[in-house]
Homo-oligomer: A and B are copies of this chain.
């Protein structure tokens, strides 16, 4: 597939506002990413009228019938066994079999992970997939993973996640040597779980495929002191949601800042003057701009959009998928993981308590 031409498989029935948001998002992405084309999986009776309403979209989009759909309540195991004819399964399969370069779904996260693992399998050297996304910091953007694919992680997992995240930051943020930090309760070498200390020891070795900064703490995420924050899926999920919750508490429509602007006439006048600056700031921290979680480590590119996003947010998720294809995420990751394997397979010290010799 030549650079510039990217075929995206879309789960037309996944997400709270499907299929409308999926079709409208594809229409925005069509203009933003010229050369893109789409395979849209789902119920043709519902999809065709939406596509036809958008001038020009039908030229770059093909509807592929899918008789079934994964629901938000489906357990991953159920979706895996019983939703073989769903728009999600068929879209993932298209990307796994090379008919598309990537798949994007706003549907059930657990089901998407399970189906992708079965249909795409893992890249050599990657044991488990990690869910990654990026978030705003005072310096720009930081990649964080795992955001919930693996509740418990050993040193091998964390080390591989570091490589996955580093390559993702290279591709998505255009950084040549992203700085990687391991999330911990302190920045000293002796802090934290044994798994974390082992992972840090590996990443510090000469020849490490990542530029390792060391341990970082929760408050370092927002400062952007590192470009990639690595943690286990339990901590990552809770932390990401806590950050989103705090931003909403302060900056949301009914948040404390807006509330403060309503407390007096003076404040209300102040808000009128400052409204332009406020809108600009709101845009900068707009969660839609950070939409598009990615399952890294799979032998395929699978992007998960927020279920509740709108067309603009969905288009951002499509942009993540396009960039990962164009800038050859997969082949770069394979290289990085091979380097990691060399690193952890050699010079293993018997004193180390955790098992496992890398990939």
Which positions in A face B, CB cutoff 8 Å?
A: 137-138, 148, 151-152, 183-185, 192-193, 217-223, 231, 233-235, 237-251, 254-257, 259-261, 263-264, 266-267, 269-278, 280-281, 284-285
Residue of B nearest to A281 (CB): B260
A284 to B255, CA, bound (A): 13
- Whether A274 contacts B245 by the Cβ 8 Å rule is no
Contact indicator A242/B218 (Cβ below 8 Å):
yes
In the complex, how many angstroms separate the beta carbon of A141 from the nearest chain B beta carbon?
13
User: Would A280 and B256 be within 8 Å (CB), given that A185-B234, A243-B242 are in contact?
Assistant: no
Residues of B within 8 A of A271 (CB): 270, 274
**Is the CB–CB distance between B264 and A277 below 8 Å?**
yes
| Known A219-B248, A246-B246: A285·B256 in contact at CB below 8 Å | yes
Return chain B residues, CB-CB under 8 Å to A270.
Answer: 269-275, 277
Which chain B residue has the least Cβ–Cβ distance from A252?
A: B138
Contact B223 A245 (CB under 8 A): yes
- Residue with the highest number of chain B CB atoms closer than 10 Å, among A223, A263, A269, A277: A277
- Residues of B near A281 (CB, < 8 A) are 256-257, 259-260
B242 and A221 contact, CB distance less than 8 A = yes
Residues of B within 8 A of A266 (CB): 273-274, 276-277
Chain B residue with Cβ nearest A218: B241
Report chain B residues within 8 Å CB of A248.
219, 222
Q: How far is the CA of A276 from the CA of B284 in the complex (A)?
A: 25
Distance in angstroms between the alpha carbons of A231 and B234 in the assembled complex: 11
Q: Give the distance in Å from the alpha carbon of A250 to the alpha carbon of B298 in the complex.
A: 35
Please, which residues of chain B bring their CB within 8 A of the CB of A221? 242, 245-246
**How far in angstroms is the closest Cβ of chain B from A298?**
21
Q: List 7 contacting pairs A-B, 8 Å CB cutoff, sorted by A.
A: A185-B233, A219-B241, A222-B248, A235-B239, A242-B246, A251-B257, A264-B277
Given A274-B260, A274-B266, A231 and B242 touching (CB < 8 A)?
A: no
**B contact residues around A235 at 8 Å (CB):** 234-235, 238-239
Check B249–A277 contact: CB distance below 8 A.
Answer: no
B151, B278, B280: the one within 8 Å of A185 (CB): B151
Q: A219: which B residues are within 8 A, CB to CB?
A: 241-242, 244-245, 248
A238, B217: Cα distance in complex, Å:
6
Q: A235-B235, A242-B221, A248-B222 are in contact. Are A277 and B256 (CB under 8 A)?
A: no
Least Cβ distance of A183 to chain B in Å? 6
CA A120 – CA B349 in complex, angstroms?
41
From B185, B245, B257, B276, A220 is in contact (CB under 8 Å) with B245
Q: How far is the CB of A114 from chain B (nearest CB, A)?
A: 15
A231 touches B238 (CB 8 A): yes
Contacts of A285 in B (CB 8 A): 250, 256
List the B side residues contacting A273 at CB < 8 Å: 266-267, 269-270, 273
Interface centre among A148, A266, A267 (most CB of B within 10 A): A267
Given contact pairs A183-B238, A185-B237, A260-B277, enumerate 9 new A-B contacts (beta carbons under 8 Å).
A138-B255, A138-B256, A223-B249, A235-B238, A243-B243, A246-B247, A263-B277, A267-B273, A269-B270
